Homo-oligomer: A and B are copies of this chain.
Amino acid sequence: MSTAAEPGLRERKKAATRQALHAAAMRLAIEHGFDRVTVEAVADEAGVSRRTFSNYFGSKEEALLYGDYQRIHLLIEQVRARPAAETPWAALTAAAEQFYLKLGDLDPQWIAQSRLVRAQPALVAAQVQTFAALERDLSTEIAARTGDDPSGVRVRMTSAAFLASLRVALHIWLDKPPGTNLWDLVSEALAEAGRGFES
């Protein structure tokens, strides 16, 4: 029961199935377009039943966005690795920077394809849920750093503002021509939130 211990065969299988469903959804969505993909086809492609699909994901959108979920979750874990001396916001922005700079090294072909999928209105809407689902986790992380109450207004707002920065930057990025640098937008959004809005 340590922070991230032994996988165990059972959990491995589960993770594999989830990953397979996500990958299958991505593949089919890129190939045939978002709304020409049925849950049945995805489940089929991943080798499980439709019912099992629903045991893993509540909707097609969730399955597609699971990649984003994992990535942001990873980013949140990187926050923990930041020096304890850093303030929460410093740790967050530093983690975001190392995270998004690495993201730039990905296959441009793949980025272009997934961009098309993510621009789908239904997915943009669902993305909000993905980020909101991570607010608790991030609050816990921030509170652990300062020893504050994870449910306090300050902690919750820091968490919300950070995730809102990522989300807003991503939305703006999707509206811009391909090739636009995402980190520049994230960086600008974080700076605005850092500086505050009352001035």
Report which A residues bind B (CB closer than 8 A): 87-90, 93, 125, 128-129, 132, 151, 153-154, 156-158, 160-162, 164-165, 167-169, 171-172, 175, 185, 188-189, 192-199
Contact = CB atoms under 8 A, between A and B. Distances in A.
A157 B125 contact: no
Contacts of A168: 153, 156-157, 160
A198 B165 CA distance: 13
A197 B89 contact: yes
B193 A157 contact: yes
Nearest to A131: B128
A151 B193 CA distance: 16
Contact of A197 (B132, B175, B194): B194
B192 A154 contact: yes
Main secondary structure of the interface of A (DSSP, over half): helix
A36 to B, nearest CB: 21
A17 to B, nearest CB: 24
A138 to B, nearest CB: 12
Contacts of A165: 157
Contacts of A161: 161, 164, 193, 197
A153 B129 contact: no
Most buried by B among A90, A128, A132, A158: A132
A58 to B, nearest CB: 10
Nearest to A58: B125
Contacts of A93: 198
Nearest to A184: B153
Given A156-B172, A160-B164, A193 B188 contact: no
A24 to B, nearest CB: 25
B125 A198 contact: no
Given A157-B164, A157-B165, A161-B197, 13 more contacts: A88-B197, A128-B132, A151-B175, A153-B185, A156-B168, A157-B168, A157-B193, A160-B164, A160-B167, A161-B193, A193-B197, A194-B197, A195-B196
